[in-house]
Amino acid sequence: GLKLYYPEEKELYNKLRNDLLKT
């Protein structure tokens, strides 16, 4: 969700970001 300050959300966000950065 938009509340990235949640640990779970942060992990998902980081995972998605890493996927996008892995080009």
CA pair distance 6, 19, nearest whole angstrom: 20
pTM of the full structure: 0.40
pLDDT tens for residues 1-23? 555 556 677 788 888 888 888 87
What's the confidence (pLDDT) of residue 7?
A: 66
Backbone angles phi, psi at 3, to 5 degrees: -80, 80
At position 7, the amino acid (one-letter code) is P
CA pair distance 5, 20, nearest whole angstrom: 20
What's the confidence (pLDDT) of residue 22?
A: 81
What's the confidence (pLDDT) of residue 5?
A: 59
What's the confidence (pLDDT) of residue 12?
A: 82
